[in-house]
Amino acid sequence: MTQLNQVFLGLGSNIDPRWNLLRCLDLLERIPGAVLEDESSWYRTRPWGVEDQAEFVNLVVGMRTALEPMELLRATQAIEVELGRKRLLRNGPRTIDIDLLLFGDRVLAEPDLSLPHPGLTERDFMLIPLIEIAPETLHPVVGRPVAELQGLLRYRQILSCAQSAPRPGTA
């Protein structure tokens, strides 16, 4: 039987965020060899890096996957392309941004992918939603549960928290 890895992804959008995030969740569920399991609340956040742009909506999802990290990265980048992501300005406006935050206990430093995500312990819009759905998950570098890492946050951009947006066909 294939080993399934526990993975956490950070999602964000500030261009038609409700539609793009709902579509992103739908496309994530269609990745072969992956099962979406958890979804945090949706957080309204101030932009990071380039401040002169619309506010973002961010959330974290948990999934299990048989894919390897680079395979999952390619699959999530394909979703970004499908949803019209254009990389014109670093940290600029975007239809969707999908970040691999944690991939089991893997530690990886490749040109295109660092695991765990280097911003996870610095940015509240990554860490707080992760704590919401998986507080006991160990950070593979720090070696402590993510719920204990709030003191490491450097950037606080969360403005408010809302319940998850209802998906079409759900009550």
- Domain residue spans in the chain? 5-162
How far apart, in whole angstroms, are the C-alpha atoms of residue 23 and residue 53? 22
Query: Domain 5-162 belongs to what topology?
Result: Alpha-Beta Plaits (3.30.70)
Candidate list 16, 44, 94, 154, residue with the active-site label: 94
State the catalytic residue, choosing from 97, 124, 144, 167: 97
Q: How far apart are the first and last CA of the chain?
A: 35
Residue tagged active-site, from 64, 85, 90, 123: 85
Catalytic residue among 26, 64, 99, 105: 99
pTM over cut 0.75: yes
Q: Respond yes or no: is residue 94 known to be catalytic.
A: yes
pLDDT digits (tens, 9 = 90+) for 39-83: 999 999 999 778 889 999 999 999 999 999 999 999 999 999 999
Task: Examine the pLDDT at 1 and tell me if it is beyond 60.
Answer: no
64 noted as active-site residue: no
Q: How far apart are CA 27 and CA 167, in angstroms?
A: 13
DSSP string of 58-109, one letter each residue: EEEEEEEESS-HHHHHHHHHHHHHHTT---SSTT---S-EEEEEEETT--EE
pLDDT at 78 (0 to 100): 96
Inter-residue contact 72 to 100 (CB < 8 Å)? yes
